[in-house]
Amino acid sequence: MYFKDLQEVEQHFGVVMVKVGWLDKGQPYTEGVAPVEFVEKMKQMPFTLFTKGFHTCPFCGNATSSCQYLIKISGKKYYDVPQMIVHYMEEHNYLPPQEFMDAVMKLK
């Protein structure tokens, strides 16, 4: 399932999900090397068990996940990030938006 990075999707009750890392084959994404500290922090973050179904990596088919991260920005606004983001960074040179990486690094 593809969403452009930082695309906002309004949900029920005024909740807004800011999409990050929802990649798909044939769709553009920013490439680069994410800082090691950021990748390690993402590996340690708790993820939701709420699932929209299983997702297999569209680029290599070697990784599968059904979970996601919901990271509160403010009020009813959250970053909505697939757990596959770690795989995308480590195996496919995905570089998340700096805004998102900064927000995650500020979390305790």
pTM of the predicted model, to two decimals?
A: 0.93
At 36-91, the pLDDT tens digits run: 999 999 999 988 877 667 889 999 999 999 899 999 999 999 999 999 999 999 99
For 92-96, what is the mean pLDDT?
98
pLDDT band per the 50, 70, 90 thresholds, residue 103: very high
- Is residue 4 within 8 Å of residue 18, measured between CB atoms? no
Nearest-CA neighbor of 71 among 22, 29, 17, 21?
17
